[in-house]
Structure 1
Amino acid sequence: MVMKVVESDIAKLPDNYRSFYHDVIKFIPRERVFVDPIRTLAYGADASFYSMLPKIVIKIKNAEEMSNILKKANQVKIPVTFRAAGTSLSGQSITDSVLLVATEGWHNYSISPGGESIALEPGIIGSEANSYLKSYSRKIGPDPATINNAMIGGIAANNASGMCCGTADNSYKTVESMKLIFADGSVLDTASAASREEFKKNNPSIIEEIEKIRDEINADAELTKLIKRKYKIKNTTGYGLNSFVDYSDPFDIINHLMIGSEGTLGFITEITYKTVIEHEHKASALMIFPDMNTTCLAVMELDRDLVAAAELMDRASLRSVEDEPGMPDYLKTLSPDAASLLVEVRAGDKAALNQLIEDVKARLADLPTVLPITFTDVKAEYEVLWHIRKGIFPAVGGMRRPGTSVIIEDVAFPKERMAEAVLELRNIMNKYNYDDGIIYGHALDGNVHFVVTQTFKNQEEIERYQSLIKDVCDMVVNEYGGSLKAEHGTGRNMAPFVEMEWGKTAYSYMRKLKKVFDAEHTLNPDVIITDNQLLYIQNLKPMAQAHEIIDKCIECGFCEINCPSKNLTATPRQRIVVQREIARLRQTGEDQERLRRLEEDYAYFGDETCATDGLCSTTCPVGINTGEHTKHYRAQLMGDNGKSIGRFITKNFAGVTTMARMGLSSAKIAHSVLGTSLMGGIAGGLHSISGHKVPLWNPWMAGPGQTPDPSRSKKGVDGRKVVYFPSCVSRTMGGSAPGDRDKRQLSQVMIQLMEKAGYEVIFPREMDKLCCGMPFESKGLFESADKMSSELEKELIVVSNNGEYPIVCDTSPCIYRMRKVMDKKLKMYEPVEFIHDYLFDLLEFKQQPETIAVHVTCSSTKLGLKEKFKKLAEACATKVVMPERVRCCGFAGDKGFEVPELNESALAELKDSLPADCTSGYSNSRTCEMGLAHRSGLSYQSMVFLVDRCTVAK
């Protein structure tokens, strides 16, 4: 099933957009062009506090499609806005016109032989680029706090910087070349002499205008002086006029003008960065000073030749995280005036690192501190310190009142005036009753972030925010000669103030640049250049309260990287955006027809294709598990009838699993008789005819499982005992598929491995009646889930001798739930963790000369077991592949049978990620393994099979 285009949605488009739509679907598949209410709403949201509803959303997958789209939009004068990860904080990636989403398909990269440069397409996440460079001990220069989520297209287009790159290693300073598409569809590769010559021939006016602006700016001594001064500190306000001062060749100028242009001058299809060294040795110190003035004086004593980072945090910032787990106790004892500096030094060797530490201490020796300055080079210890800094913004988001937005503004001051500027900034915030606002930032660059929470529910609140921004802009520009935007890009919220910061002359050149590259203003209009002086207080995002689980969401989009349905239907952020709009429409009573459509379409878009895997919570800054909300949503849909079905199944659980085994046996027999092709056709037809109620068979469907015979247990060595609970999944479908490498039952191998290590295996009584409750919980049947887990818990307490013996369950999602809901005295493990912690030293590993693939399930990822998977696998095989872009498999229990397109979409990159010599794959959830095998064509089985095959008893 896929979401269908509704003709009435197309009919509602304005005439010119309707004509544009019909032209576009001639060269872009109709399923990638959205006009319906739910997808235009969902894709239209970004991390800013603005909200606009695009008329059309188009997923663009390659440069040819982008060129054709831009050419057509330019011809008919329809505005377009580019969008990648949507982590922008200033409204750069929203529109009420056409939104062009460039995420899927833009993942190609290449690295120069020595790693000194890397070419990246815009859909690659920043941290992925660094992982590609890891073996070269290098990285890209920009290091924004969003590097694990932001994509290269946005990092370059916003000139995002970060904590360590400063102004020396940002995108502007490290860009080597670009491949570009302009508003009329023309292309340019600035690294290619032939492309430059062709562009010059076909676009002579652009080159002539660039050269003319260059000459005029350099002839104006006062303007040149202003430009040089303003780029001594971080500055992303307006266009990069420093391009005309720093470079002479028009193509070099274009190359650097595109950095920070926020999609208003053209689209970057590829950027080549000069890389920087990733130092092996690091040390950090959290320095506490008695007041902000002293802290800023300390900053003035430091520079980038000495330290890699110096992060300023005021007392309110520290207070926001002091109650978080793992925070140092002394944070709670600090005075109201205290402030801090988190300093990091980096070097190529230990001796050089120690020298830097001593040099820092010497420079700060004359300044009073609350605590002695102490550096640590222990990774676990300095990561705690950096967790303080990185936890500030999420902490504010988590503590804010429901219905409010989190607003993070971004300014910069000359470093020598930072102390007085920060104090004045605090006074302005207090003046407008933003007393709980916090101030922190990248102090070495004079870059200060201030964070406030704000509701826009009435005109009074809007005017309060308006007054704050006006006063801050006046202070930054007129008193300190600073930057209104240091690293977050101009966006919609500072576009009205660009001329205020730069003055009429400089701003006139920015307007000329917009006209040179985009005469029709079809590229992201109103961003950077606008005539609307009230733009920053218009189209403010409503934050309706929808459900306590999701009301904390700040819509940053950090969750999206992990979501298996992100390329099929919705991401966690998009689900929340839609639920908030549904809640708003219910509360206001407006547009009931739109409400009906959103509710109707959400069934598939938000519910049916949600894997409820909870991986979204692992990267959510406020820890939201959108899957939990989906379960509550399903519980509401279930009603009393659903609960009755759940009660019936719990009472007759052994019989239900027996029938499931019989069904798998029948399927296995039918497959052997009919063959794969005919069996697949019949099964697909039944699945389709039944409205997807009949599960979709696939050739990697497991055979029926078996319940182990407890009477066959062997005595352990030295009193070793372990409780083994075979999950209902393995008891039902723990057998092999036709293509599986090992034909044994999962439970059989589990028992054999533990006995090999000298353990006596103990089993719960009446196993066929027991279940952890996970299948019920995923359906929203909480009562049934809790009943099943309670009964299992009682039995495990008995057979483990009140928690004395470890308990192993062979399926990772089951263990995740068991740990969550059961008595903490029970020591419960999934197979990989148990083998790693209990069996590793009792077995002799014989590494096999082969390449294997390993998939860490969602549950194991949340349990933090990735490194243990890796260690076990590397003990068994000479080469282990763990594809970085493959996260949740999307099989999600029975979703792989009911909504197979979710599994297909989630694993779209799996097959291409595996080397040709890969022999087999391993994981720790039977249903996940079936999906992985089906999408890769390789046998995937439990890690238990691998370890058993590669070990002997010591």
Structure 2
Amino acid sequence: MSLPAAFRQAVEALIPRERLFDDPLSTLAFGTDASFYRLIPKLVVRVESEAEVIELLRLATAEQVPVTFRAAGTSLSGQAISDSVLIVLGERWNGREIRNGGAQIRLQPGVIGASANAVLAPLGRKIGPDPASINAAKIGGIVANNSSGMCCGTAQNSYKTLAGLRLVLADGTLLDTEDPASVAAFRHSHAALLEQLARLGRETRANSALAERIRHKYRLKNTTGYSLNALVDYDDPLDILAHLMVGSEGTLGFISAVTYHTVPEHPHKASALIVFPDVESCCRAVPVLRQQPVSAVELLDRRSLRSVQDKPGMPDWVSALSAGACALLIESRAASQSLLHEQIAQIMATLGGFPVERQVAFSEDPAVYNQLWKIRKDTFPAVGAVRRTGTTVIIEDVTFPVEQLAEGVNRLLELFDRHHYDEAIIFGHALEGNLHFVFTQGFDSEAEKARYAAFMEDVTQLVAVEFGGALKAEHGTGRNMAPFVELEWGRDAYQLMWAIKRLLDPRGILNPDVVLSEDPQIHLKHLKPLPAADEIVDKCIECGFCEPVCPSNGLTLTPRQRIVIWRDIQAKKRAGVDTTELERAYRYHGIDTCAATGLCAQRCPVGINTGDLVRKLRAATADHRGTADWLAEHFAAALKGTRLTLAAANGTRRLLGAPLLARTSAGLRRLSGNRLPAWTPAMPQPVKPIAITPASDDSRPRAVYLAACVSRAMGPAFGDAEQTPLIERTRALLEKAGFQVVFPEALDNLCCGQPFASKGYAEQGERKKRETLDALLKASRGGLDPIYCDTSPCTLRLVQDLADTRLDIHDPVRFIREQLFERLEFVPQREPVAVHVTCSTQHLGEAQGLIDIVRRCTEQVVIPEGIHCCGFAGDKGFNQPELNAHALRTLQDAVQQCQEGISTSRTCEIGLSSHSGIDYHGLVYLVDRVTRSKAC
């Protein structure tokens, strides 16, 4: 059914058209969360204010239109999708307020969990919840799902650390529990509702059997159903209401702000991996460890260890472990190193009587404990990486009483065998008896659906009935476990939950069929297809972890959405459906506005670089191969043409002036259908060709300097305070450090190949890369001399898949760090400097290195939050300037106290300068300014 006309008209009057989405591409893109369900919304609304949410809920209530709220969409149980109206948080929900020296923090629902911790870190504090998705999940979802994690347990989740809540009810009423005026108004306007909540609380506490059952259930980690503990923990109905909202998954109201009591973030930590010979001895150690100063204890069964035993860096002995082995990954944290050592000794003493097959002793070495935690974190993607194309990865989330953990693990293993889930693994948060089990499941046949249904029946009986555990420990009930809430809780508690739902959402408009459903088969409906699309992305599990680092997120599509749409296009084609319109829309949203920098791969659990797919799709439509061949063969002439074009633009600026040229350029671009590039005042002036002198035979060490083609063509902008070209500044810095600078022969004809490869001309790109590597080999005397490349993207391109081990190619960060620190004396300036870490610098592993160098150069370093990629992407800043503008929309406010910015890519610096209000330069400008030779 379509949405009521009156509702549509009212929404269109309320929300600007650019924040309403009802086209097939957008609704499909938003119809996906991290779960294995899919619903296609009829309308997606991106909200930017509380007032908009209030009015939308009033309209939805009046017209009885179901609505669902979406934050990051990392939900695993199907609670962030809708076939009606999906309300998505825009970017203006990012408010943070630190209170009482960090003891509390007030957060809006759009803040990413890791960002909250980043602002608390200097104060030695963090929020309690620590879900595995914390780098992508937003506070709204973390609170609405009562998410926890590896260290959180039951003591530090949102429910237990809640200090205050600001919420909007289904009827559009606003309540802020920390605002006395709001509380007074609500007590007056909703006295009847509060009395009903108070009555439910009194009746629940008076029912001793039910009250004790509730207390027992919440001694376990439990997110099945509503937070009924609110009815026994509190008697004030306002407190009851606030705590019922935690874990309600958007079915009782909208959370517009939350205040947390924060918890300590101890700076000293150590981890150990203890492998026991069997599940029983492993699990018997858990209650012992619960009494010890441990912050996390993660269980990994033998299947989990087997799934990662062949990964790079895994200890050799992992593959030789016995068939029944079971491991505990243990972490301890402390405020001081001496206290940490005491804790480690105490922990190990308590484990002395347990049989141990192998172990990695407690280590404070980041290389060691990061490797141990990598074993744990790689288990889930390991299953995803081997799944058959077309199947999905399901991660279930149950709790057993800790004293029955061993039996629970073994019984789950029996169920895997019985239902033929041979690839399934078990890991989890052992201190809470919280086990995750991961398996692959196809939904493309009735037999497979029946297998899944039978398996879930057995799992729910085992966990909820036989063991009295929780069917959902931390992932939320969603629609996945909605049919089994009564099975776990019993009739009295289940009816109590329905009473709460009907009291707070009497028209049933908030996220129907989530948490509670009258459909016993809801968990078997709306199952998400994962059809084959391309081997590059077929392993995608649509988790959304990639989205925060994507520069087009919020402009067009994210990596997850690009994959979702491409999968759908391929499935429709195989079914004979006409995809012309969808592909036309995808050209711009999916391909043209993808920066293809690959940061998504760094966040992806299975390492997918969506940019690789985009480059492949560009190659399929790249129809100017003759031109590409000519440019590759006559690159020096093309470079000369670029200089002439820049000279012409500079001459026009002198003639017309920058403001008139900008307006004229914008007009011509519109008339050309956006085919002409955009001009900005940050447009570079041309660089004169390098005067190369032959290398001399002096005693100085040699450094081969590969000046990138952008450095050879693009100088500083006319208005830049720095007018020395990058090449001259770099040569001066290297000579100051005592190097003889050597340039490769035929430099103007060299190119790393990136401009060709990014446009889909891989063959020409590889040819230019090979030419350049051959020239560098010759210039470096067969690899004897270090090679300095002044642009990070070019360096990355050259070192990727580099088979010739003789070549040692450095980007600016690595060269300065390894070659110049000992040769130069740094005298830091006082003025603040903004730092942009390019995508390629991150891929090269030099992000922290760049920051450390700038910290040697200045007393104040500013790293703008939330800007992971500038979106300039080679020449996209000229041809798709909206991508660059969107990616850097928050930059100017973040760097307003700075006079200069630093990066390591000339093209990135053009966009950064355009959108920041300050000049961005290459790193060498700053280093040259604040250093002198130690030999002087």
Match of residue 297 from structure 1: 284
Deviation at 1:350, TM superposition (A): 2.1
Match of residue 76 from structure 2: 89
Deviation at 1:802, TM superposition (A): 1.1
Using the TM superposition, name which of 849-858 and 702-711 deviates more: 702-711
Partner of 1:546, secondary structure, is coil
Judge conservation of contact 1:714–1:761 (CA < 8 Å) in 2. Answer: no
Deviation at 1:947, TM superposition (A): 0.7
Aligned match of 2:596 in 606, 612, 624? 612
Task: Please list the CA deviations of residues 258-299 of structure 1 after superposition, one character each: whole Å capped at 9, or x if unmatched.
Answer: 110000001111100000011121111100000111110111
Task: Please list the CA deviations of residues 144-183 of structure 1 after superposition, one character each: whole Å capped at 9, or x if unmatched.
Answer: 1111111111111000000111000111100100110111
Match of residue 518 from structure 1: 505
Match of residue 633 from structure 1: 617
Match of residue 659 from structure 2: 677
Partner of 1:878, secondary structure, is coil
Q: How far apart, in 2, do the equivalents of 1:825 and 1:565 lie?
A: 38
Deviation at 1:884, TM superposition (A): 2.2
Aligned match of 2:677 in 681, 692, 695? 695
Match of residue 808 from structure 2: 827
1:490-509 matches, within 5 Å, as: 490-509=477-496
1:763 and 2:747 matched: no
Judge conservation of contact 1:118–1:274 (CA < 8 Å) in 2. Answer: yes
Deviation at 1:75, TM superposition (A): 1.0
Task: Please list the CA deviations of residues 35-84 of structure 1 after superposition, one character each: whole Å capped at 9, or x if unmatched.
Answer: 00001101111110111111111111111111111111111111111111
Match of residue 869 from structure 1: 850
Deviation at 1:337, TM superposition (A): 0.7
Using the TM superposition, name which of 373-382 and 198-207 deviates more: 373-382
- TM-score w.r.t. the length of structure 1 is 0.97
Partner of 2:901, secondary structure, is strand
1:420-569 matches, within 5 Å, as: 420-569=407-556
Aligned match of 2:30 in 43, 54, 61? 43
Aligned match of 2:645 in 631, 652, 663? 663
- Structure 1: which amino acid aligns with 2:240? I
Aligned match of 1:643 in 613, 617, 625? 625
1:699-718 matches, within 5 Å, as: 699-711=681-693, 718=699
Q: How far apart, in 2, do the equivalents of 1:451 and 1:91 lie?
A: 17
Judge conservation of contact 1:714–1:755 (CA < 8 Å) in 2. Answer: no
Judge conservation of contact 1:477–1:501 (CA < 8 Å) in 2. Answer: yes
Partner of 1:850, secondary structure, is coil
Match of residue 2 from structure 2: 14
Q: How far apart, in 1, do the equivalents of 2:400 and 2:909 lie?
A: 55
Partner of 2:481, secondary structure, is helix
1:889 and 2:889 matched: no
Q: How far apart, in 2, do the equivalents of 1:829 and 1:561 lie?
A: 29
Match of residue 894 from structure 2: 913
Q: How far apart, in 2, do the equivalents of 1:242 and 1:817 lie?
A: 56
Match of residue 10 from structure 1: none
Task: Please list the CA deviations of residues 702-740 of structure 1 after superposition, one character each: whole Å capped at 9, or x if unmatched.
Answer: 111233211176776x4311111111111111x111222
- TM-score w.r.t. the length of structure 2 is 0.98
| Poorly superposed stretches of 4+, deviation over 3 Å | 712-716
Partner of 1:268, secondary structure, is strand
Judge conservation of contact 2:3–2:42 (CA < 8 Å) in 1. Answer: no
Task: Please list the CA deviations of residues 604-630 of structure 1 after superposition, one character each: whole Å capped at 9, or x if unmatched.
Answer: 110110001111111111111101110
Aligned match of 1:787 in 748, 752, 767? 767
1:599 and 2:583 matched: yes
Deviation at 1:25, TM superposition (A): 2.0
Q: How far apart, in 1, do the equivalents of 2:791 and 2:216 lie?
A: 61
Q: How far apart, in 1, do the equivalents of 2:632 and 2:416 lie?
A: 57
1:941-952 matches, within 5 Å, as: 941-952=921-932
Match of residue 654 from structure 1: 636
Aligned match of 1:797 in 774, 777, 781? 777
Judge conservation of contact 1:103–1:122 (CA < 8 Å) in 2. Answer: no
Partner of 2:358, secondary structure, is coil
Judge conservation of contact 1:832–1:944 (CA < 8 Å) in 2. Answer: no
1:353 and 2:340 matched: yes
Match of residue 5 from structure 1: none
1:26-175 matches, within 5 Å, as: 26-175=13-162
Aligned residue pairs total: 933
Match of residue 940 from structure 1: 920
Structure 2 residue runs without a partner (length 5+): none
Q: How far apart, in 2, do the equivalents of 1:540 and 1:741 lie?
A: 58
Judge conservation of contact 2:383–2:423 (CA < 8 Å) in 1. Answer: no
Q: How far apart, in 1, do the equivalents of 2:923 and 2:220 lie?
A: 53
Match of residue 331 from structure 2: 344
Return closer, same or farther for 1:715/1:96 CA change in 2, 3 Å cut-off: farther
Aligned match of 2:571 in 570, 584, 596? 584
- Structure 2: which amino acid aligns with 1:138? R
Match of residue 356 from structure 2: 369
Match of residue 381 from structure 1: 368
1:258-297 matches, within 5 Å, as: 258-297=245-284
Q: How far apart, in 1, do the equivalents of 2:883 and 2:54 lie?
A: 30
Q: How far apart, in 2, do the equivalents of 1:104 and 1:20 lie?
A: 25
Judge conservation of contact 1:414–1:482 (CA < 8 Å) in 2. Answer: yes
Judge conservation of contact 1:495–1:526 (CA < 8 Å) in 2. Answer: yes
Partner of 1:841, secondary structure, is coil
- Structure 2: which amino acid aligns with 1:96? D
Return closer, same or farther for 1:42/1:361 CA change in 2, 3 Å cut-off: same
- Structure 2: which amino acid aligns with 1:127? A
Match of residue 240 from structure 2: 253
Partner of 2:443, secondary structure, is coil
Match of residue 395 from structure 1: 382
Partner of 1:375, secondary structure, is strand
Aligned match of 1:879 in 841, 848, 860? 860
Q: How far apart, in 1, do the equivalents of 2:168 and 2:588 lie?
A: 36
Partner of 2:676, secondary structure, is coil
* Superposition CA RMSD, Å: 1.2
Judge conservation of contact 2:104–2:261 (CA < 8 Å) in 1. Answer: yes
Task: Please list the CA deviations of residues 441-477 of structure 1 after superposition, one character each: whole Å capped at 9, or x if unmatched.
Answer: 0010010111000111100000000000000000111
Judge conservation of contact 2:3–2:65 (CA < 8 Å) in 1. Answer: no
Aligned match of 1:731 in 705, 712, 717? 712
Q: How far apart, in 1, do the equivalents of 2:695 and 2:906 lie?
A: 24
Partner of 1:340, secondary structure, is strand
Q: How far apart, in 1, do the equivalents of 2:332 and 2:446 lie?
A: 48
Q: How far apart, in 1, do the equivalents of 2:721 and 2:37 lie?
A: 53
Aligned match of 1:184 in 160, 171, 186? 171
Deviation at 1:362, TM superposition (A): 2.0
Match of residue 772 from structure 1: 752
Deviation at 1:204, TM superposition (A): 2.0
Match of residue 299 from structure 2: 312
Q: How far apart, in 2, do the equivalents of 1:749 and 1:531 lie?
A: 71
Task: Please list the CA deviations of residues 835-876 of structure 1 after superposition, one character each: whole Å capped at 9, or x if unmatched.
Answer: 111011101111111011010100001111111111111111
Using the TM superposition, name which of 817-826 and 525-534 deviates more: 817-826
- Structure 1: which amino acid aligns with 2:478? G
Return closer, same or farther for 1:683/1:98 CA change in 2, 3 Å cut-off: same
Identity %: 48
Judge conservation of contact 1:429–1:437 (CA < 8 Å) in 2. Answer: yes
Deviation at 1:666, TM superposition (A): 1.0
Q: How far apart, in 1, do the equivalents of 2:850 and 2:345 lie?
A: 40
Partner of 1:416, secondary structure, is helix
